[in-house]
A and B are shown apart, each in its own frame.
Chain A
């Protein structure tokens, strides 16, 4: 399993959301709250947008595919780190799951518009670095990192 990214440095900013199976509303709100909070910190629109998309996709994956989990959004040094941990069935073949179009979403979930098999691909596209580790039958840890870029350490932590 991946070492927690925060072990080496104290996070200056942190959001923490519990995410539970079938709670679409809370998962959606975790993304809009993240967007708002990062906007208020004065991060670049691109960074805010990418972070919110990753949070949304990661939260929905927990809601749809896992049992329960937590989602953290942290700013450490010059990065936004989004870490999603869940208890659930895990992903037996991560490479396959990363492929656009691959989905195991059941019929009733697809009817709601999920299950394009694009979530992980979207997260990869929106991050500078994406690590997924999973143990079948136990759960999944996903960590995405987005560089803040030059000249834009957030206002409050400069």
Chain B
């Protein structure tokens, strides 16, 4: 029930409790299951849509999401080189929610009461759930001195993307761009390498600056995906790539990053434009609800239910199955979760052999792109998802494009167009 008990409901409750058996029986009448979805990004918007697509009016679905417009991080590196605007990547929930009869509440969830099965919003309202699905994306680990409003991460899209864009636009020939890559796992494995290429290409080929430097500080021991393609592009652009570089602090006013290589002495590097992408973890609500183990939320990959609480499911970047943190596969997980939740409401077990898939297209210039793809299957002995073993596919998974091409660049928009519409319309 609701915390915001009014006098009327109170009176009604007294009548019900003390004298009227008829009313009590109506209190016990079966209600339509209420599924609350927290966060409407790639995974949350997909799960809400598919719950309604598959179960219609026999379930009630409410989304809690603070923003009335979602700006897609997918393709957002193309804002930096003026191929797209954040408006092009923006999605409203108005037609979407009316089409599927989804309740939209624009607020943030601040608390989960697992026993009473209610969530509280920042505005104080409390909402009951029968099933709760958390899709809050990522949160950043704090870096000493890092002020996002001066040194953008641009790893959640919108204002941050435009801030980084305007800083790059303000650069002159001879200026320096320095970015950091977080320790894996983080959101979108190829994304930071892609960004380094897009920015280097933009400075050199669009602005015609031959004397700018682009430096990449990677906390990982080497390029973690598509190493051949990105390595070749780094060479072509003359990108200064430094692996095993751990950022220790940032001077946001002076755009200086302090880091150490392989545990060595602290070094400093000053930049004209500094883009620090901090290490990542599950959304805050996962931590405040005590649903994390380490930085992510452990779940059963058959239904994405938390292994730490019943009737709470976690999908998208926050979940800790080991599958990549990406929008395409977040959409994929959402459908497995929707199916499992609907089965469970009818007392059925989840599909014992779910399959998910991932695809990332990475622009590496204003006209070429690469891709990466994997199909995952459930391994019942390890109870986890693993890439399907594909002896007849040379190289196996992850499969990647043989190099960057214009064909890939054009296909990137065919892919994203359907992914966006499968998620937000």
A binds B: no
